[in-house]
Amino acid sequence: MTIEEKVASFPQAGERLVKRAMHAKEEYAKGRKHAVAAVVEYGSALLEGREEYPSHNAFAAWVAANELDQGDPWSDRRERTAAMNAAAAVRGKDAAEVFAGCQHARPTHIMKWYRQRHPETVTRKSAKRKPVQLKLVPDGDFSPKGKVTIEKAIALHKKRLDKEFQQKLGEEVRAQIAKANDAARTQLAQLRKENHSLTVALRQQAAFSPDDYRTILAVLHPDNSASPEKRAIAFNLFKQKERRLLGQ
């Protein structure tokens, strides 16, 4: 996989590491009590990220694209390196035991405290050794196989974020539509229930039942041949509703 492809895979390839580093930054901000553990956790995430992106430029792009170099002290490369060294010092050990008694908060101060107590870990340098001169390479001079600019990495990361935003926006729109449909169905069911209740109430207020109405109608028909008994029944039914029919 090329560096461009690895960077394009942000945040998938290092999402777990980014979350760990961000959590460590939050813990560090809580104060000195959490500083050492937060520095070790942050450094551990960056160490694993360094293994995921062996190229210096790809690793730097990953750090920048995920804003792991934002805020104090993480914006200082020396502090990030010190945090990684602190994490390396406790690999396979108990961090609380290794840094027991350390009252410092900044990664460089923590590592200075550690080296004073563990001088065997300090690499002796020759007094005549010349400082390393770093050669800055313009963006356009990166070789096509193993180099990627931070600007390109950020652009690729933004493209992926845009894609995720569109996906989440679509999901939210569909959720809101489903919610509106559920509300409409609930309202329609309530209206049907109210309509049924009104129909029943109107029927209960009717002057005659359907059978009584047909009995009276049959007697009143011009061609009727109703018996005296049926006429008497119709008369009594009509007489019982006299006050209601007259509105009294």
- From residue 183, alpha-carbon distances to 52, 68, 196 in Å are 49, 44, 20
pLDDT of residue 139: 46
The answer for 31, left when phi > 0, alpha when psi is -120 to 50, beta otherwise, is: left
35 plus 142 within the same structural domain: yes
Nearest to 46 by CA among 85, 5, 99: 85
Are residue 112 and residue 233 in the same domain, yes or no? no
Average pLDDT over residues 38-46: 89
User: Do 151 and 226 lie in a common domain?
Assistant: no
pTM across the whole model: 0.46
How many structural domains compose the chain? 2
pLDDT at 146: 46
- The reported pLDDT for the residue numbered 231 is 83
Residue type, 18: V
pLDDT, tens digit (0-9, with 9 covering 90-100), for 215-231: 887 888 777 777 888 88
Inside any domain, residue 220: yes
224 and 107 within one domain: no
Q: What are phi and psi of 66, to 5 degrees?
A: -100, 10
Confidence of residue 129 (pLDDT cuts 50, 70, 90): low
- Looking at the fold, whether 106 and 221 belong to one and the same domain comes out as no
Confidence of residue 114 (pLDDT cuts 50, 70, 90): very high
Mean pLDDT score of the chain? 80
Tokens for 52, please give them. Answer: 């995921």
- The residue range of the domain holding 228 is 210-245
Q: Examine the pLDDT at 104 and tell me if it is beyond 50.
A: yes
Q: Is residue 148 part of a domain?
A: yes
32 & 105 share domain: yes
Per-residue model confidence (pLDDT) at position 142: 45
pLDDT above 80: residue 200 = no
Are 8 and 156 contacting, i.e. CB atoms less than 8 angstroms apart? yes
Same domain for 234 and 142 = no
- Judge whether residue 155 has pLDDT over 70: yes
pLDDT given for residue 16 in this prediction = 83
Residue 137: the pLDDT is 45
Instruction: Tokens for 24, please give them.
Output: 């460590």
Residue 23 lies in a domain: yes
For residues 115-140, average pLDDT: 62
Assess if residue 178 is contained within a domain. Answer: no
Q: Residue 101: which region, alpha, beta or left (left: phi > 0; alpha: psi -120 to 50)?
A: left
Structure confidence by residue, pLDDT tens digits, 43-92: 888 988 888 888 888 888 888 888 888 888 889 999 999 989 989 988 88
Residue 130: predicted pLDDT: 63
Q: Residue 78's pLDDT is what?
A: 94
Are residues 151 and 226 part of one domain?
no
Same domain, 228 and 111: no
**Average pLDDT in the 169-188 region?**
91
